[in-house]
Structure 1
C-alpha cells in the first residue's frame, strides 16, 4: 500500500485552491460539498467562481501566488497550468507541513484526490495512488452500478439508532449480526422502495426482540493455494464474520488481508522438525477455548482442509466436545498448481486417473504401494515432498517407472513468484537442488507433466529436458518390475 487512506474533516477549515480554471472549479465544488472554507487565488476567475464569490460561498485573492496565502490553511490544491508555479507552491506547503494536491502531478502531491462513489454519509473512495486516474474512474463506474442509492438513508438510520443498538446489543458479534440484518432484511427492502417510516418501524421491531447469548461455532475453511482470487465466496464471507482466525503457515498474507480487521489472528502453522502432535493439541485447545466463549472461530487451512490437512481430526475433536461446526471447501494444491502450470491432471491420451499422495513421512513408516504408483496412465501428485525428492524418484524407478518419465515440480503455485521445473524423473533431485526449489512445492509425475512445456501460461518455467509430451509410445515409460 503506497498511500495511507484518509477521510479528512475540512468542515469550516481554511482550504486554499491556487488557480481558477475548469479543473479548479471541480476541486472547489468538492471542497464546498464537504463544508470547507474555500479560498481561491488566481489572476483571473471563471464566471462560476465569480458567482460563488458573489453568493459568499468562497473567498478570492487576485494576484500571483504568495506563500502568505497558505497561512492557517489546512489543505492546499495547486491547479495552475504552470509547472514552475506548482513546484513553488508544493515547496511552500512542504515547509509549512500542509497537505497539498498538485493536479496531475503525483510526485509533488502529499495527498491525492480520489474518485468517489457518494452515498452520503457513506462514501467510497478509489485511488490509483496517482498512477492511473482513468483506472480509478472505471472502478468507480462499476461500484456506482453495484451500490444502491438506498445505502445513504440506511446509514443515516443506523447512525440515529447507534446508541440504542450499542445498548441493546452489547456483544460485538450480536451487534455485527444486527447490522448485517439491516442490510439483508426488511429495513433495507423498505428503503429501496423509499418507505422511510416503514424502515424505521422494522428497525425498532428487530431491536426490541430479545437476543439469546451467542453460541460458539467453528468454520473449517480452505484458503486455497495462495492466490487470493481463488478463495471461495463462502470462505470470504466466513473471514469477514470471524471473531478468531487460526491460520496455518502456508496461508498467504494476501488471503489473511481479506479478513475482518478486528478479528484476532493466531498463527498455528506446523514447521519442519516440530512436534506436530503437540502443535495439533494446542490447536484443539484454542478451538475449544474460543468456541466455548461464544466466538465464531475460523480454522483457516492452506488448500483444502480435507486433503492432508488434518481436517477430519479437528472435526472429530469438535464433535466429541459438542461444538457446532461447518466446512467450507478450498481449492486443493494439486488442482490449482497443475492448472496454473498448464497441466491437466487427467487427459484422454495420457492419464485416466489422478492420485493425491503425501510424501510427508519417514522412510521407516512408508506404507505406499509403490508397485501401484508406478503403473502407467495416471498422474501422481505428491504433497509436501521437497525434502523427499531423491527417495521418491528412486522408489518410483525401482518399482517400474522409466527414468525418462516426465515430472513437473511447482514452487509457490498460483502465487506471483511461481516457478515450474520440468524434466525426466531420473534427474528430479539433481535438478531441484540445482535450481534451489523450496517448500511449498508440489510434485507431479506422469505423461501429463510434460504438457507444461507447451501449455504453461503463468509464472516462470524451467525446462530441463523433459521428454516430448506427444510421444506415440508414452505408455512404454511405465514398465512393471519383474
Structure 2
C-alpha cells in the first residue's frame, strides 16, 4: 500500500472540535506524529497498534525534536508505505509550520493531504463571546504571532499596521504581552481600546481577562492568564459583556464522547 501523510488540525483545545474527517483519519492511522497543544483525549482514538510519536515543544525552551527532524520523520514513515497523521493544534497552516512539512513531502515526491482545523485565532475569541468581525464595528481582522519582541530592531512585524487593525488577534503573545501593548499604544492605538486575553480556550481551564490595551497586562496577571492564550484588541471585545456564553463547567458538560477506535 502506498503511504500518505495527512496534516490534521486538531482544533483549539476541546477534543470534539476536531473535524469529522480528521477524526476518521486519526482512527485509521498507522502512525500519529503529534504536538503538545492537542486534547489528550484524541490519542484515545488512535488504534492500539499504531505508532505514536510526540514531537511537541514544551514551554519556551528548545524543541525536543527539531523541525528538520520532523520533516525527515514524515518522509521516512510515508516512504515506508504507512498512513501517517501529523496532528497539530489549531490549524496546521496558521503559525503551525504545516507548509514546511508539506514542502518536505512534496520535495520527496510523496503524497499528502491537508485537513484544516479550527484555529484558536477565531475559536478563542468565539468561546469568550467575542466575534472577530461585527457589523458596524469591525469588517476585517488581523492575526499576528506575538512571540517576537516588538521593541527589537528589525522586527518582521509591522506594528504600526497592527495598531490600526479593526480587530487584532495575537497568538503566542503571553510572554510579550506588556511589550505588545506598549508598542500598540506607541504607534497610535488608543490605550483605552478594549482588549482581552483568553487562556486554554474551549476547555474546562478557560480563563478570560477583559480590560483595555493599557490595562491588559495587569488584568492578565490578576486573572492568572498563562500560555496558551490569545490576545484580542478592538471594539468587538466590548461584546464579551453581552455575548459571553461559555463557562468552564460547559467544557465538561457539553463534551461529545468520541467513542473508541476499532482494533
In the superposition, the TM-score normalised over structure 2's length comes to 0.89
Provide the rounded CA distance (Å) in 2 between the counterparts of 1:430 and 1:270.
Answer: 27
Q: 1:354 to 1:322 in 2, by over 3 A?
A: same
Secondary structure of the equivalent of 2:175? helix
The answer to whether the 8 A contact 2:9-2:90 is kept is yes
Q: How does 1:142-157 map to 2 (within 5 A)?
A: none
Q: How does 1:106-255 map to 2 (within 5 A)?
A: 214-255=1-42
Q: Which has the larger radius of gyration?
A: 1
Provide the rounded CA distance (Å) in 1 between the counterparts of 2:174 and 2:102.
Answer: 29
C-alpha displacement of 1:349? 1.6
Name the structure 2 match of 1:375: 164
Instruction: Specify which of 110, 113, 132 is matched with residue 323 of structure 1.
Output: 110
Name the structure 2 match of 1:140: none
| Higher RCO structure, 1 or 2 (CA under 8 Å, sep 6+) | 2
Instruction: Specify which of 315, 335, 348 is matched with residue 135 of structure 2.
Output: 348
C-alpha displacement of 1:426? 0.3
Name the structure 1 match of 2:147: 360
Question: Is 1:444–2:260 an aligned residue pair?
Answer: no
Q: 1:283 to 1:411 in 2, by over 3 A?
A: same
Name the structure 2 match of 1:56: none
The answer to whether the 8 A contact 1:242-1:296 is kept is yes
Secondary structure of the equivalent of 1:386? coil
The answer to whether the 8 A contact 1:246-1:300 is kept is yes
Name the structure 1 match of 2:210: 422
C-alpha displacement of 1:272? 3.8
C-alpha displacement of 1:258? 2.4
Question: Is 1:410–2:198 an aligned residue pair?
Answer: yes
Q: How does 1:244-323 map to 2 (within 5 A)?
A: 244-276=31-63, 279-323=66-110
Alignment size in residue pairs: 246
RMSD over aligned Cα atoms: 1.6
Q: 1:229 to 1:409 in 2, by over 3 A?
A: same
C-alpha displacement of 1:246? 0.6
Provide the rounded CA distance (Å) in 1 between the counterparts of 2:142 and 2:50.
Answer: 37
Name the structure 2 match of 1:137: none
Instruction: Specify which of 372, 385, 392 is matched with residue 173 of structure 2.
Output: 385
Provide the rounded CA distance (Å) in 1 between the counterparts of 2:234 and 2:219.
Answer: 17
Name the structure 2 match of 1:153: none
Q: Any stretches of 5+ residues in structure 2 without a counterpart? A: 249-263
In the superposition, the TM-score normalised over structure 1's length comes to 0.49
The answer to whether the 8 A contact 1:408-1:421 is kept is yes
Q: Any stretches of 5+ residues in structure 1 without a counterpart? A: 1-213, 461-482
1:85-120 CA deviation, whole Å, 9 max, x = no partner? xxxxxxxxxxxxxxxxxxxxxxxxxxxxxxxxxxxx
C-alpha displacement of 1:438? 0.7
Provide the rounded CA distance (Å) in 2 between the counterparts of 1:361 and 1:240.
Answer: 37
C-alpha displacement of 1:276? 4.8
Name the structure 2 match of 1:396: 184
